[in-house]
């Protein structure tokens, strides 16, 4: 029963539960991002390039078929996913958190006499002994 107790403690730790929730949310979010890329961004690129799908592009050498068009599709898809995640998730999140972040108090200040960095609570400079 010691093994079951240890497993229960492991599962109920905050990190394991947070990780499980993150994986589930990530999987659901993956579907949203893929739909955004597949349904909106890829057709837009196809309209500009006049080739909506590169997967038909192949090269044959000594009976071996190289699907370089499929590689192009996957690279474009990866870049579009990265752009979508950055502009629709990362950038808004950073903007939102920056609005509510409190400014950190300064831990150091500059000595007016010798211009060296000293602790903010110092009453005298350690380098030039100038009273502050």
- Cβ–Cβ < 8 Å for 131, 123: yes
Q: What are the structural domain ranges in the chain?
A: 2-101, 106-132
> With left for phi above 0 and alpha for psi between -120 and 50, is residue 62 left, alpha or beta?
left
Backbone angles phi and psi of 101, in degrees to 5:
-80, 130
pLDDT digits over 58-110, tens only? 889 998 989 888 888 888 888 888 888 888 888 998 898 888 887 777 788 88
The correct answer on CATH 1.10.1200.120 for the domain covering 2-101 is: yes
Q: What percent of the chain has pLDDT over 90?
A: 0
H or E element in which residue 27 lies: helix 14-36
State pTM to two decimals: 0.52
Question: Binning pLDDT at 50, 70 and 90, where does residue 38 land?
Answer: confident
Check pLDDT > 70 for residue 52: no
- Cβ–Cβ < 8 Å for 69, 121: no
Check pLDDT > 80 for residue 1: no
Q: How far is CA 26 from the centre of its chain?
A: 12
> What are the b/e assignments for 41-70, b being 16+ CB within 10 Å?
bbeeeeeeeeeeebeeeeeeeeeeeeeebe
Backbone angles phi and psi of 50, in degrees to 5:
60, 15
């Amino acid at each position: 029963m010691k093994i079951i107790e240890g497993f229960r403690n492991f599962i109920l730790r905050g990190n394991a539960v947070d990780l499980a929730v993150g994986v589930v949310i990530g999987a659901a979010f993956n579907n949203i991002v893929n739909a955004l890329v597949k349904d909106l961004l890829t057709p837009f690129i196809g309209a500009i390039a006049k080739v909506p799908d590169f997967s038909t592009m192949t090269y044959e050498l000594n009976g071996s078929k190289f699907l370089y068009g499929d590689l192009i599709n996957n690279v474009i898809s990866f870049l579009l996913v990265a752009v979508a995640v950055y502009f629709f998730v990362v950038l808004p999140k950073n903007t939102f958190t920056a609005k509510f972040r409190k400014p950190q108090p300064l831990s150091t200040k500059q000595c007016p006499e010798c211009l060296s960095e000293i602790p903010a609570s110092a009453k005298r400079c350690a380098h030039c002994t100038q009273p502050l």
